[in-house]
Chains A and B, each alone.
Chain A
Amino acid sequence: MFEVPEEKANLGSNSVRIGSGAGFAGDRIQPAVDLVREGDLDDLVLECLAERTIALAQQRRRSDPSTGFDSRAEQWFRALLPVALDRGTRIVSNLGAANPLGAGRLAIGIAHELGLLCRVAVVTGDDVLDALDLSTPCLEDGRPLDARGPVVSANAYLGADAITPALATGADLVLTGRVADPSLFLAPLADRLGWDLSDPATAAHGTLVGHLLECGSQLTGGYFADPGHKDVPELARLGYPWADVSANGEALLGKLPGTGGLLDRRTAREQLLYEISDPGAYLTPDVILNLYGVTLTETAPDRVQVTGAAGSSRPDQLKVSVGYQAGHRAEAGISYAGPGCVERARLAGDVVRQRLAALGKELRIDVVGSLSDGAPGEVAQCWLRVAGLTQSLVEAETICHEVESLYTNGPAGGGGVRTHITEVIGILSTLVDRDAVTPTTTVLEAS
């Protein structure tokens, strides 16, 4: 069992402070460092895994077995391990992606290099690709999982019960692959507050806290500002959120004093309903969460109290996210400016469409940008964008070449061609019995 840090115990409070240091893979690192340094956190959670991320990571791992975890893992570890170990803040993160053990070994190597004592617990077992019958119908339309393209990954959404054994090892850093985002928060709360995860009411409280924090700064004024309409103070210095959670499940949301951003009832309720397809039944591996009784109360500037989460028993099965190769997306563009720019861009679009007709691919053609006709003081300019989905890389390159060739074969004055091809990963879903998934904890030590 993990001991509550002394300075917390001296407050006479049995609440836990859990912070959110990343809401997605591309999040900013410095605000997370500030939060750990000055926020007196018990736990910091980094949520870094979007739906497609793990399939892309799996493919990277296939070509190089030492990779497959978050591509910025080294930056996160180097920035956070020294300050988190110094402050006694535990870190829990899914940046293990398709290779949690690889991420764990990287963390140990960095800790060793920096002369830090560090225990890392790695949670595996989410990868169910080898065990999955790919002829199983997918939930989306009942066609087999492998009917659309080669399947490259299958990961079950593990719950908090897969993470708590890792926390119980006394680890300073817990790394996972695919787990449900709110479970990353529920598990450390349950660990510190002695919660029984099989009690839906309790699991609902922690899941709600996790849901509110999992997108990081989207709770504290990120993704909210609209100048002159919904102003957010000092957006450039946006601070990340935390929650003080008591044993009875009540939570007080806050953010680091002196940082920019905004935490109020408006920002909190946008996050409360974010990506919820049924407010009465939000399915997670830990609980079915009901939001209809949730109350958000502003108790002070940048402080919002949360009460009223309710829940019913967790689903019997776990959701599995299956990634398949869905071809390539080609995007290419060219800019035009000055009088007649829109007409020239449209002509260029027509030309490209005619030249690519033989390819037989549906193209999307947009003219975007400042469509001014050149009034005094304004520069009329616009951007022709051509996008298409193809199976093969060669076809994607053909689309890009036809836009590039507009330089000398298109309307007057085109410039600044940009082309971009991305590999497209499709995602399908299925369900597996809990018995079919065996979460495992591995402990690694740097000393």
Chain B
Amino acid sequence: MSEVRLYDYAHARAGDKGDTSILSVFPFTDGDYPWLVRELTAERVQQHFGEEFQAEVRRFEVPNVQGLQFVCRQALAGGVTTSLALDTHGKSLSSRLLALSLPSPNAAEAPST
């Protein structure tokens, strides 16, 4: 199946509250929102970050702005206080999320590879 990189289809922002990372994702094109809702599930996001995300990811659909909001608890190694990461706030998680691959929104027409 043809895969695409989320980076080419969406923009994202990360915020933090304590040990919780909050990731917002929006498609560049409104027409891609149903595809994003279908493919960019909470499980897919959790899997992308692997063991770094220690608790279940919760997803909110915010269709009035074509947004998906991922609330990721226990995702910041204890948060700004105790994290030893370079980016203690996890601000860069938004860019890392965009590296994720998803089945193409045009999968039906795309040549299989």
Contact = CB atoms under 8 A, between A and B. Distances in A.
A143 interface: no
B86 A368 contact: yes
Nearest to A364: B84
A385 B15 contact: no
B95 to A, nearest CB: 8
A279 B81 contact: no
Contact of B18 (A296, A329, A427): A427
Nearest to B80: A52
Contacts of B55: none
A274 B13 contact: yes
A329 B79 CA distance: 13
A278 to B, nearest CB: 7
A122 to B, nearest CB: 29
A425 B80 CA distance: 9
Contacts of B13: 223, 270-271, 273-274
Interface in A323-359: 326, 329
Nearest to A266: B11
A385 B84 CA distance: 10
Interface residues of B, number: 26
Contacts of B80: 51-52
Interface in A363-415: 363-364, 366, 368, 385, 387-389
Nearest to B65: A269
A276 B69 contact: yes
Given A269-B26, A270-B13, A274-B13, A424 B81 contact: yes
Contact of B69 (A224, A266, A279, A425): A279
A87 to B, nearest CB: 33
Interface in B1-32: 7, 11, 13, 15-18, 20, 22, 24, 26, 28
Interface of A: 51-52, 140, 223-224, 229-230, 265-266, 269-280, 291-296, 308, 326, 329, 362-364, 366, 368, 385, 387-389, 424-427
Interface of B: 7, 11, 13, 15-18, 20, 22, 24, 26, 28, 60, 62, 64-67, 69, 71, 80-82, 84-86
Closest 3 pairs (CB-CB, A-B): A275-B15, A364-B84, A273-B24
